[in-house]
């Protein structure tokens, strides 16, 4: 994909598996996911085979432009071409690259891809309501809060509220 100010996106490859597993299993990343099971090579390769390779998801690796090193991943899943929508997700796996605005930049690139290449109408996401940093980043990228679902998920022995956000393709 087109390079931007600090990062660029490239399609995920099978040889990214070790990085994805390391990032997703790190406590700093895992705490923000609903799915708390450890990622394994088998589960990741299953994801690539049954979702990414079959067009049910699109996943990119976020690459730091200065170092040309992989720092995280951005994806859309549950792609619904009938209703032209998909769910958005992201994580910056390299701790030293967190909090630098790369997440907002990656979101903007993925939104552009989803709207202009895939021709989607709506992208939505879910975030823990207390994940202020992520919600602020999503807002900077153009997502708007649609609402809060109380006690929506049961994670690590307690119910958690989820903030639902979306962005609509205004070109439609």
Active site residues: 138
How crowded is residue 104: how many other Cβ atoms within 10 Å of its Cβ? 17
Distance CA 2, CA 109 (A): 8
Give the SS3 label for residue 81. Answer: coil
Residues 144 and 124: beta-carbon distance below 8 Å? no
* Bridge-based pairing state of the strands 122-128 and 85-92: parallel
Contacts for 57 with CB less than 8 Å, ≥ 6 apart: 47, 51, 75, 76, 77, 78, 79
């Amino acid at each position: 994909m087109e390079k931007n100010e600090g990062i660029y996106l490239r399609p995920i490859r099978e040889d990214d598996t070790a990085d994805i597993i390391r990032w997703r299993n790190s406590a700093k990343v895992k705490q923000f996911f609903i799915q708390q099971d450890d990622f394994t090579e088998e589960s990741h390769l299953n994801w690539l085979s049954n979702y990414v390779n079959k067009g049910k998801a699109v996943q990119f690796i976020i690459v730091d432009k200065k170092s040309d090193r992989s720092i995280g991943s951005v994806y859309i899943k549950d792609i619904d071409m009938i209703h032209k929508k998909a769910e958005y997700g992201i994580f910056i796996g390299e701790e030293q690259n967190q909090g630098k605005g790369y997440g907002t930049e990656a979101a903007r690139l993925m939104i552009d891809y989803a709207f202009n290449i895939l021709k989607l109408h709506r992208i939505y996401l879910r975030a823990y309501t207390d994940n202020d940093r992520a919600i602020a980043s999503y807002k900077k990228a153009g997502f708007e809060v649609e609402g809060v679902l109380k006690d929506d998920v049961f994670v690590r022995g307690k119910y958690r509220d989820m903030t639902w956000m979306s962005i609509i393709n205004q070109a439609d």
